[in-house]
Amino acid sequence: MPAMTCSACLPVQSAAKTGLLQTLLDRAADVLALGPASHRRAETRAAVGELSARQLADAGIDRSIVCRVRPVIEIRAGLMANLISLQ
Position 5 scores a pLDDT of 52
Letter string b/e over residues 21-44, b meaning 16 or more CB atoms within 10 A of that residue's CB: eeeeeeeeeeeeeeeeeeeeeeee
Predicted pLDDT at 1: 47
Question: One digit per residue, pLDDT tens: the chain, 87 residues?
Answer: 455 555 554 454 555 566 788 888 888 877 777 677 777 877 887 888 788 888 888 888 887 777 766 666 788 899 989 989 987
pLDDT of the residue at 17: 61
What residue spans define the domains of the chain? Answer: 10-85
- Count H helices and E strands in the chain, helices first: 4, 0
